[in-house]
Amino acid sequence: MTKLLPLTAALLALSTAAPPDKFTFVDLEPHANQKLTDVFGTLDGNDLKSLRKGERTCASVNFKIGSGVVELHSRLLPNKRPNKVEGIKVGKACAKLHILHATEYGNAEEGNSIFVKDGTQIAEYKVRYEDGKTETIPVVYGQDVRDWWFNENSKGVTRGKVAWQGDNDAATGLQCRVRLYLTSWTNPHPDKKIATIDYQKTDMDSAAAPFCAAITLEAK
């Protein structure tokens, strides 16, 4: 396999700056259970240090990266993760909701213990409005996200888009890189205030360990 060459800064950003009042950041820090600087899974050097904490623009959306991500359960993870994270506070209306996310595991040949079949719904975001109504944003493998590790032969996604690419020592050692995906959801009730969001795994038998790095609200 040919080693992947680093992309230019412009290609990595895949973005242009936006007006600061267009986007509002959802605070994931109270629910974060996997630090960017800690090992993901079991391989030494498998981390998200290159994402870096702070504000950044990915695929034309402003995000605020915290010290960690919110990760859900997988039978392959050495550390226990929840099946559901409830009550992520929002408290604001929006026209669109943007999610920066991915999953550990999935990118393998069928029959491998980490394989996840395209079309498998691995998770969902439950949007809860102040009036008690809800909407659901599904996370489907192959459509919205894939394994965060990739190489030059890896597939893209059909509904979302690649929003960020980076490196870590474990991936580089196996001639791979890491990436996160953007899901942009148009809110069918843009005038209703969103109270909270729940993030939950939907296929408990799947090897996938979905994780969310950031959520941003976009004003009308």
Distances (CA, A) of 118 to 42, 94, 170, 183: 24, 30, 25, 17
Confidence of residue 109 (pLDDT cuts 50, 70, 90): confident
Confidence of residue 195 (pLDDT cuts 50, 70, 90): very high
Separation CA 200–CA 36 (nearest Å): 20
Contact yes or no for 23/218 (Cβ under 8 A): yes
Identify the residue with better confidence: 155 or 6. Answer: 155
Please tell me the predicted confidence (pLDDT) of residue 19: 62
In tens, the pLDDT along 1-33 reads 444 444 444 444 444 455 658 999 999 999 999
pLDDT beyond 90 at 160 = yes
pTM, two decimals, is 0.90
CB-count exposure of residue 176 (10 Å: 0-12, 13-18, 19+): buried
Cα of 1 vs its chain's centroid, Å: 27
Residue 46 phi, psi (nearest 5): -95, 90
In tens, the pLDDT along 82-91 reads 999 999 999 9
φ/ψ region of 98 (left if φ > 0, alpha if ψ in -120 to 50, else beta) reads beta
